[in-house]
Amino acid sequence: MSDPVSLLAMAGATTVVSAMATSAWEVARDRTVALFRRRDEGMTGDEDDPVQAELEASAARVRDAAELEVARNRQVQRWQENLEDLLRRAPELSGEVAALIDEVGALLPTAQNVWQQSVHATGGGSAYGALGPGSSVHVHHRASPYPSPPASATDAEEDTP
């Protein structure tokens, strides 16, 4: 997905869906509705807006979801397609999509999840740890501060022909 329109649509969709169920939702909804109204210049704002109804339905799905991440991912996909269609038909709106991303992104609450993990190995053993998807494990081997255990007499006898 290195197509600039697809990337912008994905960023816009992710921002809008992230705003659902937060204090930034009204701004995100209103800015998104305004984008689609620009496409449909004939709409005055007095009539029922199908885009606003779709956004509200999406927000309700996210808000009421038993599996929040699944619901968010579905709505991101849905709004990415909508924004991509919009940008392909009206490429002049790409600046407004970028402005929506900046404005709403600044209103989103910062992540409060801080993960910390400590993994210790003793006695010359190895230990590995990772937290969550996308985690990396880097292994650095150092000389052990512990001497190797002495070979037993039976090990030495087995090695001798």
pLDDT digits (tens, 9 = 90+) for 77-91: 999 999 999 999 999
> 4-51, pLDDT tens digit by residue?
999 999 999 999 999 998 999 999 999 999 999 987 665 555 556 899
Position 94 scores a pLDDT of 96
Would you say residue 54 has pLDDT above 90?
yes
> Counting every residue, how long is the chain?
161
Position 38 scores a pLDDT of 84
Q: 92 pLDDT band (50/70/90 cuts)?
A: very high
CA of 140: how far to CAs of 34, 72, 127, 144, 157, in Å?
53, 38, 11, 12, 34
Q: What pTM does this model have?
A: 0.65
